[in-house]
Amino acid sequence: MMIKGEGQASKARGRPRLFDRTAALDRAMRVFWDRGYEGATFDELIAVMGLSPSSFYNAFGSKEALYREAVGAYLTGPGGFFPKALAGGGPAKDAFARLMMATAAAYTEEVGPAGCMISLAGLHDAPDRADFRDFMREVRGRSRTLMIERLDEGVRNGDLPEGADVAQIAEFFETVFRGLAVRARDGADRETLEKIGVMALDAWPGVRA
Amino acid sequence: MMIKGEGQASKARGRPRLFDRTAALDRAMRVFWDRGYEGATFDELIAVMGLSPSSFYNAFGSKEALYREAVGAYLTGPGGFFPKALAGGGPAKDAFARLMMATAAAYTEEVGPAGCMISLAGLHDAPDRADFRDFMREVRGRSRTLMIERLDEGVRNGDLPEGADVAQIAEFFETVFRGLAVRARDGADRETLEKIGVMALDAWPGVRA
DNA sequence: ATATTTATGGAGTAGCTACTCCATAAATAT
DNA sequence: ATATTTATGGAGTAGCTACTCCATAAATAT
C-alpha cells in the first residue's frame, strides 16, 4: 500500500501538489522547535508553510500529525548530531566527550532555535494531552537507549569495567543533556555549555588524575 | 500604602472576602506546577480555587498576575527545600550533596506534581510571551545566585581552593538540577534521581579516591 | 471523451479562553 | 442614616484556535 505523500511522482494520480512537502515540513518543524506545540498557532504554521487550510489538511491531516512528522524531521535533521557523535570509534568516554561538545554546538547553533525540540516538549501541559506527553517521553527514551548501546559497546571493548552500571551512566548523561537544553533556552552560550559538558565528563567512572 | 489583599483584618473596609486567599493561591499554584501556564485553563483554576470570575478578578487581577504570585508561593513552599539544603553548615560539597538528595526527594514527592514548577516553565511558548519567559529566566537565575553564594562561602572557609571557578560549578549543578526536573516529569523515581545526584557530585573539583 | 482521484482557494464555524459588566451584598467611615 | 468601599453572583462576550465545507482545478485510468 502506498502511503499518502510518499507515492512516486511518475505514478501520482490526481492534481499534483503545488508545494514542496518536505520543505514545508521543515519550516513547520522549526516553528515547533522554537515555540513548542501549543505555542505554534495554526495560522502561523500554514503561513510559514505557504499553505491554505485546505492544502494543509489534505497533505498533513492535523496539527498533531504535523507535529509528529516534525519530530521525525528534527531527529533526522538538526537532531542528527546525537547518534552521529556517539557512533564514532574510540573509547566510550571519547564518544561521550564528542557528544557533549556536539550538544553544546547544536544547542547554540545560530541557524535554529536555542536548545532541543525534544527535550523541552510535552513536559508541562494539560492532562488531556497525555498521548502527546507519552509520545515525547518515548522519543526522549530513544536517546537513552542509544547511549546505553554505546556504553555496552564500551564494556565489550574493555574501555569500561565489566560490571559498569551503564544504565546509570546513561541516566546521568541524559539528565545533563536535558539540563543543557534548558540552559541553552535561557541564553547560555556554546562555551558555557562546553564547560558544563567537560565537567560532566569528570563524573565518568574511574580514577581521576 | 496598603497592598490590596494584605490589609489587616481589623481595618479592612468593604465586604470581607468569603474565601481564604492564601489557600486559593496554593491550590492554583499546584495546578500551574502540574500543567504550566498555558496548560492551566481559567475555568479549571477558578474551579479549584472555588471562585466565580468576579471574585477571582477582584482578588488576583489576571491569570498572569496569579501565576506570578503562584511562583512566589512555590518558592516559599514546595521550592523551599533549595535554599534550606544549601544553608546548612559544613563543607560546600556537603551542602551540594544535601541539595542533590533534597532535590531527588522534592521532585518525586507524592503530594505534589513531579518535577519543578520553575525549571520547566517559559521555555517553549509563543514569541508574544517574552515577558513571561524573561520572568521565568530571572527566577531560575536566583537559584544559580544562591549556589554561587554558597560556593563563595566554601572558598572563604577553605573547603574549596582560592581560585575555584564557582560560577562554573554553579552552572554545572544548575544544569543537573534542571535536567532532574525533566527526568522526574518523565517518571524517574527518587532513587534514580539520587543516584544521578551522587554521580554529579563526582564531578566536584578535586581529586577523587 | 468521461470518470475518478487528488489538490487548491477561500469563506465559514463550533468551541474554548480569558475576561467584562452590572446588579446586589456586606462591611466601615462620618 | 447615609455614603463609600470592597466582595460576590451570574450572565454575557470579543477574539482566537484548529478545523470544515464546497466549488473548482488538474492530473491519471479506461
- For B119-128, what is the mean pLDDT? 95
Nucleotides of chain D within 7 Å of a protein C-beta?
A: 4-12, 16-23, 25-29
Residue among A95, A73, A94, A93 nearest A84 (CA): A95
Report pLDDT for A207.
52
What's the mean pLDDT when you consider all of chain B? 93
Q: Where residue B209 falls among pLDDT bands split at 50, 70, 90?
A: very low
- Domain boundaries, given as residue ranges, for chain A: 19-75, 79-201
**In a mutagenesis test of the A interface, which of B123, B133, B177 is the best target, namely the one with the most A β-carbons within 10 Å?**
B123
What's the mean pLDDT when you consider all of chain A? 93
Whether residue B60 is predicted with pLDDT greater than 80 in this model: the reply is: yes
Residue with the three cell numbers 569500561: A160
Q: Does B179 touch chain A (CB under 8 A)?
A: yes
Q: What is the pLDDT of residues B27-55, one digit of tens each?
A: 999 999 999 999 999 999 999 999 999 99
**Which residue from A171, A183, A192 is facing B178, i.e. has the nearest CB?**
A183
Report pLDDT for B5.
37
Helices B63-76 and B53-60: angle between axes, nearest 10 degrees: 60
Whether residue A3 is predicted with pLDDT greater than 90 in this model: the reply is: no
Report pLDDT for B57.
98
Domain A79-201's class? Answer: mainly alpha
Whether residue A148 is predicted with pLDDT greater than 80 in this model: the reply is: yes
Determine whether the distance from the CB of B13 to the nearest atom of strand D is below 7 Å.
yes
CB contact under 8 A, B187 and A127: no
Report pLDDT for A30.
98
Fold of A19-75: Arc Repressor Mutant, subunit A (1.10.10)
Report pLDDT for A88.
85
Q: Does A195 touch chain B (CB under 8 A)?
A: yes
CB contact under 8 A, B188 and A171: yes
**Which residue from A35, A124, A182 is facing B39, i.e. has the nearest CB?**
A124
Q: Does B61 touch chain A (CB under 8 A)?
A: no
Whether residue B12 is predicted with pLDDT greater than 50 in this model: the reply is: yes
**Which residue from A126, A141, A200 is facing B203, i.e. has the nearest CB?**
A200
Whether residue A182 is predicted with pLDDT greater than 80 in this model: the reply is: yes
- For B111-126, what is the mean pLDDT? 96
Q: Residues of B with CB below 8 A from A129's CB?
A: 39
DSSP string for residues in A110-133: TTS-SS-TTTTSSSS--GGGHHHH
DSSP 8-state assignment for residue A80: G
Q: Where residue A208 falls among pLDDT bands split at 50, 70, 90?
A: low
CB contact under 8 A, B183 and A172: no
Q: Residues of A with CB below 8 A from B175's CB?
A: 176, 179-180, 182-183, 196, 200
Dist CA B208 CA A155 (whole Å): 22
Rounded to whole angstroms, the distance from the CA of residue B10 to the C1' of nucleotide C30 is 18
- For A113-119, what is the mean pLDDT? 97
Contacts of residue A90, Cβ cutoff 8 Å, sequence gap at least 6: none
Query: Which residues of A in 16-35 have their CB below 7 Å from strand C's atoms?
Result: 16-19
Report pLDDT for B206.
80
Q: What single letter denotes the amino acid at residue B122?
A: G
Dist CA B176 CA B173 (whole Å): 5
Per DSSP, the three-state class of A191 is helix
Q: Where residue B9 falls among pLDDT bands split at 50, 70, 90?
A: very low
Report pLDDT for A7.
36
The closest nt to B42, taking CA to C1', is C18
Higher pLDDT, B206 or A41: A41
**How many other C-beta atoms lie within 10 A of the C-beta of residue A106?**
23
Report pLDDT for B166.
97
- For A7-15, what is the mean pLDDT? 65
Q: Where residue A206 falls among pLDDT bands split at 50, 70, 90?
A: confident
Whether residue B142 is predicted with pLDDT greater than 80 in this model: the reply is: yes
Whether residue A29 is predicted with pLDDT greater than 60 in this model: the reply is: yes
Q: How far apart are the first and last CA of chain A?
A: 59
Q: Does A179 touch chain B (CB under 8 A)?
A: yes
Report pLDDT for A42.
98
CB contact under 8 A, A123 and B125: no
Lowest model confidence (mean pLDDT) among A151-155, A158-162, B100-104, B152-156: A158-162
Q: What is the pLDDT of residues A85-108, one digit of tens each?
A: 999 889 999 999 999 999 999 999
Tell me how close the Cα of A168 comes to any Cα of chain B, in angstroms: 7
